[in-house]
């Protein structure tokens, strides 16, 4: 398939991920949506790597994966800590920084 | 134009793989979005990631596809599942939106966002053929070698930085979840004393409970075990199930059988026939 | 035979037929003229000492002030005799005191110019001023602030002398302002009386309006001629364009109207009677109100070349003389009648000054005689008030000739003079003006003639109500008495002058002044005798009407069934009402609307901006909901905008 198709798929997955961040209240599901967005980005990188004819895109996608893993670790640790004290995993709970 | 390249662009196998995997990936993503239970969402995401891995392979990135499955799906999603166990596996969202206008605005913006992106992509990639990575994949002796060469020559700094990120992330996770002890750890003597005081106060036995399954009559963990006098041992059902009230009621035959055994009758079940073995006290 | 010629030939100087201004430019002062500055210094010294030393000068202050003015009069006499010794064309002298303004090519020095015209004024001011100072010794004897009074009076004399001896319009303006200030201080001398304070303010403000005219005239002179000194402007005047000269002339006329209480700036003069009577005598009869006449006569070359401005002067003079006369005929307060009379007589002077070379000399002549007989009558009124416990209402006078005989005599001398009965002073000066007016325009002449008749009417009314008939005195006033000698002495001097000044000066003053102002005979059409007879006839008729009407008895309260003209005249012909309706109320409306605009619009903009910002921020802070998801939504919105921008840029 032409690069278009892959990149359009990437755009669709990214949009779905964005929707998940905006709509879901459970923090874990939000994290998963972020992972989905990262994956969509990876797909775009790989598709363009094939288009360019070199492996740079794949390398970058590799790094993205590593960073995503690190990010998940830290994010979930934070979530666990919050859950220990506040017994809630909703992203709407911490809303004291408001007018 | 190299005919092989053209062939690669319109390779029917790749087309089939693409359409199938793309559809499934999108469906999986939608499933993640719309599931009530977070565990289901996690499974859907894992499903999407595997489809993406297949797409990576079809994009002549086999190393990346394998890494996707091993690292992403295997490690990262499992991490998600572990945390869901900690947090509570059935903490589910109500589907009612609390922020006014959020859902509508989100959908409008996301749809426009997607439309703009797709439009821009189509516009930008007009007429671009899709060459193949055959050359790049073979020039260093394979895909892995090619990526390795890039990582350790052109992107060495990025590599070092990412390593540092990983180390920091691991340490960060440990730091964040560390629970500081505010009181000294109770010694064995203190624990023993506390146990007997508890027995005096509430009647809870100070000793260990029998190992799980000692009095079990069935393999299912939601069926309570029966004590020698025929009463139900409530502690034999794990706490989460107790709280949820998922305990099964014991059957009448079990209760009579236990009662008979406790009176000294031995009961052996062979082929469904209960034999009376007589007293063996 | 010409009556005038007969009488003047007794004095021995020849009349002249006509003359162009023919003086040389002023020469530098030498000999006695180099002491000219004493004229200014003596009164200024008196004012400074009396006002600055405070209570320490209470005992000797008034006498010192009187001595200063008498000293100034003596200096003036010396200067006069020195000037007589010169030939007519060499009489102007200039004393340069100080280099005042030197900016580039523009020079306005501080200097004094003494020529025939200013000499007349110097003698009048110091002479009448000295007499009034002496009078005030008696009149203000019991006033606790009399030291301040004499200080102000000296200051006034100094400023007035500066005005008439200035050698440039700019210095004249300084004196102009000075007399305005002195007038304010003196009208409001008893400032604890609200009426006096208000009257002083009114006089000052209306004077100020006239002063704007003088400033504009000076500015125009500077632009046109590059100089403001008298030689610089007046020598060059014929060369300027008609339009410029017309504007300068009109501006000078405005100034004169303000200072001399002519239409349309006449409303302050009657209120100025709130001041002590010596003030009314000196300032508002003899000297300050004549400053406008001096200005116009001094600026003769300008008016000679600006016919439109000259016509305006004639109109102002003629209308004011009728206006003032009508007011004087209906007022019941003795000082109010005299004030209306002053307005009218100054109108005569302005009319004469507006007639051009045929009238300048007579304007000054009438100014001098009027200074004498009007001051005389004011001092007489003061004497009557002094004897009648400050009673002003003539309806409460009556039969005073029996108790105040000297006052009666001096006042009658002034009365006959102002009516223009020969041989008293006013006959000579006023008749000349009427003749000159007729030779220019029948309307102006008829107005002057009619004014003479009305003057006779109201003055006779005053005289009859005050001195004849039966006493109508109030209960607390049953023993009016004559005034002390210190007050009677100046009145007597002025009374004698009111009799003799006319025929003594009649031809001489024309000869004296003609070299400065120019003189021309007017073409009357009829002989002078006819003219004089006609004016005498008007006078006799007017006087007779008044005498017959008021001889029979004067009601104590003013009658209410009177003609509309009388009602209007009692209200000063609605001058105040007009000013209030046309200027005061729109002015107040303007200021109030400006305040409104300032409060609502300007402050509204400022406060409204603040409020808008506050309100806007109050609404906008609701964006900070605290929910991470709404922030994510705004981030997405931003990203969408970014993409749109990038697409548009690439298109």
Q: Which residue of C has its CA nearest to B110?
A: C636
When CB atoms are compared, the residue of A22, A94, A96 closest to C633 is: A22
C101 interfacial to chain A (CB closer than 8 Å): no
| Residue B99 contacts C, CB cutoff 8 Å | yes
Give me the residue from B25, B55, B162 closest to A63, CB to CB: B162
Residue C395: its pLDDT value, please? 85
- Out of B27, B60, B91, pick the residue that ends a domain: B91
Q: How many degrees, rounded to 5, is the angle at CA C312 between CA C246 and CA C529?
A: 125
**Are C24 and C94 in contact, with CB atoms under 8 Å apart?**
no
**pLDDT value of residue B128:** 63
Q: How far apart are CA A82 and CA B91, in angstroms?
A: 15
Beta carbons of C629 and A21 less than 8 Å apart: yes
User: Cβ of B83 and A28 within 8 Å?
Assistant: yes
| B15 and B76 share one domain | yes
Nearest to C632 among A21, A25, A98 (CB): A21
DSSP A10-36: HHHHHHHHHHHHHH--BHHHHHHHHHH
Question: Terminus-to-terminus CA distance in chain C, angstroms?
Answer: 112
| Interface size between B and C, measured as CB pairs under 8 A | 29
Is B118 part of a structural domain of the chain? no
Which chains border A (3 or more CB–CB pairs < 8 Å)?
B, C
User: Is the CB of residue A28 less than 8 Å from the CB of residue B37?
Assistant: no
**Residues of chain A with C-beta less than 8 angstroms from the C-beta of B128:** 2-4, 51
User: Is C625 within 8 Å of chain A by CB?
Assistant: yes
With beta carbons under 8 A apart, name residues in chain C contacting B116: 640, 643-644, 647
The alpha carbon dihedral of C450, C454, C460, C463 has a sign of negative
On whether any CB of chain A is under 8 Å from the CB of C637, the answer is no
Of A91, A94, A99, the CB nearest to C621: A99
Contacts of C13 (CB under 8 A, 6+ apart): C507, C508, C511
* Nearest neighbour of C627 by CB, restricted to A21, A23, A95: A95
Residues of chain A with C-beta less than 8 angstroms from the C-beta of B130 = 1-3, 50-51
Residue of B nearest to A69 (CA): B76
Q: Which residues 6+ apart lie within 8 Å of C242 measured at CB?
A: C305, C306
Best mutation target among A8, A17, A23, A87 (most B Cβ atoms within 10 Å) is: A23
Name the minimum distance, in Å, from the CA of C601 to any CA of chain B.
40
Could you tell me if residue B125 is inside a domain?
Answer: no
pLDDT at B276: 55
Taking the C-alpha atoms of residue B50 and residue C479, their distance in angstroms, rounded to an integer, is 134
Tell if the CB–CB gap between B102 and C640 is shorter than 8 Å. Answer: no
Q: Which of A18, A23, A98 sits opposite C626 (nearest CB)?
A: A98
Count the neighbouring beta carbons within 10 Å of the beta carbon of residue C21: 17
CA geometry: angle at A40 spanning A34 and A45, to 5°?
Answer: 130
Residue ranges of C 608-637 with Cβ closer than 8 A to chain B: 625, 627, 629-630, 633, 636-637
User: Which residue's structure tokens are 């709130």?
Assistant: C274
Query: Distance between CA atoms of C7 and C219, rounded to whole angstroms?
Result: 46
CB contact under 8 A, B87 and A80: yes
Q: In chain B, which residues have their Cβ closer than 8 Å to the Cβ of C640? A: 109, 112-113, 116
pLDDT on residue B268: 63
Domain that holds residue B70: 8-91
Q: C330 with C383: CB under 8 angstroms?
A: no
Cβ distance A5 to B22 less than 8 Å, yes or no, reads yes
Confirm whether B107 is domain-assigned: no
- Same-domain status, B155 and B214: no
ipTM value for the complex = 0.93
CA distance C627 to chain B (A): 8
Parts of chain C with a pLDDT under 70:
1-20, 22-23
Q: Does B238 lie in the same domain as B171?
A: no
Last residue of a domain, one of B29, B56, B91: B91
CA distance, residue A97 to nearest chain B CA (Å): 16
- Percent helix, strand and coil across chain C, each to the nearest 5: 75, 5, 20
B187 is a domain residue: no
Tell me the torsion sign for CA atoms C209, C214, C217, C218.
negative
Facing residue for C643 by CB, picked from B106, B110, B120: B120
Asked if residue B122 is part of any domain, the answer here is no
In this prediction, residue B93 carries a pLDDT of 65
User: Does B172 share its domain with B225?
Assistant: no
CB contact under 8 A, C636 and A95: no
Taken in order C365, C369, C372, C375, the sign of the CA dihedral is negative
Q: Is residue B35 part of a domain?
A: yes
Answer yes or no: is B197 within a domain.
no
Query: What pLDDT tens digit does each residue of chain B (281 aa) get?
Result: 344 444 444 678 888 999 999 999 999 999 999 998 889 999 999 999 999 999 999 998 999 999 999 999 999 999 999 998 888 766 666 667 777 888 899 999 999 999 999 998 888 877 666 677 777 777 888 889 999 999 999 999 999 999 999 999 999 999 888 888 888 888 999 999 999 999 999 888 788 877 777 777 788 878 888 887 777 877 778 777 777 777 788 788 888 887 777 777 766 666 665 555 555 44
Identify whether residues B225 and B264 lie together within a single domain: yes
Cβ within 8 Å, pair C647-B116: yes
Q: What is the pLDDT of residues B217-272, one digit of tens each?
A: 788 878 888 887 777 877 778 777 777 777 788 788 888 887 777 777 766 666 66
**Of C165, C193, C189, which Cα lies nearest the Cα of C39?**
C165
User: What's residue B3's pLDDT?
Assistant: 41
Contacting chains of B (3 CB pairs or more, <8 Å) are: A, C
Among C622, C626, C629, whose Cβ lies nearest the Cβ of A22? C629
**Does residue B158 share a domain with residue B87?**
no
> Quick check: is B100 in a domain?
no
Which of B91, B119, B154 corresponds to the end of one domain?
A: B91
Given strand C27-28, what is the order of strands in its sheet?
A: C27-28, C93-103, C106-114
Considering the domain architecture, whether residues B213 and B273 belong to the same structural domain is answered as yes
Q: Is the pLDDT of residue A11 over 90?
A: yes
Question: Which tokens hold the place of C64?
Answer: 């010192």
Number of domains forming the structure of chain B: 3
Q: Is the pTM of this model over 0.80?
A: no
> Which residue in B102, B109, B120 is closest to C637 by CB distance?
B109
Pair (B215, B276) in one structural domain: yes
Which of A92, A93, A96 should we substitute to test contact with C (largest number of C Cβ atoms within 10 Å)? A92
Chain B contact set for A36 (CB, 8 A): 29, 32, 45, 48
- Closest chain C CA to residue B106: C633
């Amino acid at each position: 398939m032409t690069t278009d198709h892959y990149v359009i798929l990437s755009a669709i997955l990214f949009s779905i991920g964005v929707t998940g961040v905006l709509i879901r209240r459970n923090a874990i599901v939000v994290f998963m949506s972020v992972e989905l967005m990262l994956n969509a980005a990876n797909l775009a990188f790989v598709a363009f790597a094939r288009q360019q004819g070199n492996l740079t895109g794949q390398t970058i996608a590799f790094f993205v994966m590593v960073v995503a893993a690190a990010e998940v670790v830290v994010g979930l640790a934070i979530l666990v800590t919050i859950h220990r004290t506040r017994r809630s995993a909703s992203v709407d709970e911490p809303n004291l920084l408001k007018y | 134009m190299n005919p092989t390249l053209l062939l690669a662009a319109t390779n029917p196998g790749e087309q089939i793989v693409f359409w199938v995997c793309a559809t499934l990936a999108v469906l999986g993503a939608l499933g993640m979005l719309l599931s009530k239970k977070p565990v289901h969402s996690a499974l859907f995401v894992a499903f999407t990631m595997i489809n993406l891995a297949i797409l990576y392979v079809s994009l002549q990135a086999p190393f990346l596809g394998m890494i996707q499955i091993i690292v992403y799906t295997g490690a990262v999603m499992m991490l998600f599942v572990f945390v869901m166990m900690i947090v509570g596996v059935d903490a589910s969202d109500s589907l009612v939106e609390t922020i006014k206008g959020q859902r509508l605005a989100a959908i409008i913006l996301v749809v426009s966002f997607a439309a703009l992106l797709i439009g821009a992509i189509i516009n930008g990639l007009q007429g671009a053929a899709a060459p193949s990575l055959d050359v790049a994949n073979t020039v260093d002796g394979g895909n892995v070698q090619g990526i390795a060469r890039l990582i350790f020559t052109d992107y060495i700094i990025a590599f070092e930085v990412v390593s540092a990120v990983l180390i920091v992330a691991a340490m960060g996770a440990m730091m964040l979840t560390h629970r500081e002890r505010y009181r000294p750890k109770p010694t064995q003597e203190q624990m023993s004393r506390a146990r007997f005081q508890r027995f005096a106060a509430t009647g809870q036995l100070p000793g260990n409970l029998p190992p799980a399954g000692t009095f079990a009559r069935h393999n299912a963990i939601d069926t309570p075990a029966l004590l020698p006098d025929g009463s139900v041992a409530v502690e034999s059902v794990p706490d989460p199930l107790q709280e949820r009230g998922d305990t099964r009621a014991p059957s009448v035959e079990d209760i009579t059988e236990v009662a008979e055994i406790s009176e000294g009758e031995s009961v052996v079940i062979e082929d469904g026939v209960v034999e009376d073995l007589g007293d063996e006290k | 035979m010409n009556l005038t010629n007969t009488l003047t030939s007794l004095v021995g100087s020849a009349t002249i037929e006509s003359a162009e201004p023919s003086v040389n430019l002023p020469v530098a002062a030498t000999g006695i003229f180099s002491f000219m500055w004493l004229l200014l210094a003596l009164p200024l010294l008196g004012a400074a000492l009396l006002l600055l030393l405070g209570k320490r000068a209470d005992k000797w202050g008034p006498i010192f002030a009187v001595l200063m003015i008498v000293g100034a009069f003596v200096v003036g006499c010396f200067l006069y005799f020195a000037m007589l010794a010169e030939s007519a064309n060499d009489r102007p002298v200039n004393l340069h005191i100080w280099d005042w303004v030197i900016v580039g090519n523009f020079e306005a020095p501080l200097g004094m110019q003494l020529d025939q015209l200013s000499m007349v004024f110097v003698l009048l001011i110091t002479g009448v001023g000295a007499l009034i100072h002496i009078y005030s010794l008696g009149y203000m004897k019991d006033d606790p602030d009399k030291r301040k009074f004499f200080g102000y009076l000296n200051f006034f004399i100094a400023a007035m002398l500066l005005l008439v001896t200035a050698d440039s319009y700019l210095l004249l303006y300084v004196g102009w302002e000075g007399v305005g200030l002195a007038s304010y201080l003196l009208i409001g001398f008893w400032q604890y009386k609200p009426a006096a304070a208000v009257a002083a303010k009114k006089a000052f403000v209306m004077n100020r309006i006239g002063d704007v005219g003088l400033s504009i005239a000076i500015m125009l002179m500077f632009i046109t001629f590059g100089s403001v000194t008298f030689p610089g402007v007046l020598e060059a005047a014929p060369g300027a364009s008609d339009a410029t000269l017309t504007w300068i002339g009109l501006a000078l006329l405005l100034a004169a109207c303000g200072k001399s209480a002519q239409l349309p700036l006449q409303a302050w003069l009657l209120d100025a009677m709130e001041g002590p009577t010596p003030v009314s005598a000196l300032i508002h009869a003899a000297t300050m109100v004549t400053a406008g006449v001096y200005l116009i006569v001094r600026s003769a070359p300008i008016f000679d070349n600006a016919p439109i401005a000259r016509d305006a002067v004639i109109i102002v003079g003629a209308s004011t003389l009728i206006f003032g006369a009508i007011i004087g005929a209906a007022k019941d307060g003795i000082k109010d009648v005299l004030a209306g009379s002053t307005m009218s007589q100054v109108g005569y002077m302005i009319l004469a000054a507006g007639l051009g070379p045929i009238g300048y000399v007579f304007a000054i002549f009438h100014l001098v005689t009027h200074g004498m007989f009007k001051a005389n009558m004011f001092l007489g009124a003061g004497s009557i008030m002094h004897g009648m416990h400050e009673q002003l209402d003539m309806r409460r006078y009556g039969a005073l000739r029996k108790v105040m005989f000297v006052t009666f005599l001096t006042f009658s001398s002034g009365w006959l003079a102002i009516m223009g009965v020969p041989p008293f002073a006013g006959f000579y000066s006023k008749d000349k003006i009427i003749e000159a007016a007729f030779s220019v325009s029948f309307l102006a002449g008829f107005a002057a003639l009619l004014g003479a008749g009305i003057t006779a009417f109201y003055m006779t009314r005053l005289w009859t109500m005050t001195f004849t008939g039966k006493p109508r005195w109030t209960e607390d006033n049953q023993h009016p008495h004559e005034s002390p000698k210190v007050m009677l002495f100046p009145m007597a001097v002025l009374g004698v002058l009111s009799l003799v000044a006319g025929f003594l000066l009649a031809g001489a003053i024309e000869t004296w002044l003609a070299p400065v102002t120019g003189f021309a005979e007017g073409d009357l059409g009829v002989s002078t005798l006819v003219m004089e007879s006609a004016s005498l006839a008007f006078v006799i008729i007017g006087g007779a009407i008044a005498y017959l009407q008021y001889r029979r008895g004067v009601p104590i309260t003013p009658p209410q069934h009177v003609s509309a003209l009388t009602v209007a005249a009692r209200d000063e012909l609605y001058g105040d009402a007009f000013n209030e309706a046309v200027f005061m109320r729109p002015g107040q409306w303007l200021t109030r609307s400006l305040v409104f605009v300032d409060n609502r619009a300007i402050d509204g903009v400022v406060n409204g901006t603040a409020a808008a910002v506050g309100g806007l921020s109050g609404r906008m802070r609701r964006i900070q909901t605290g929910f991470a998801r709404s922030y994510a939504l705004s981030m997405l919105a931003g990203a969408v905008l970014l993409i749109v921008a990038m697409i548009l840029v690439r298109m």
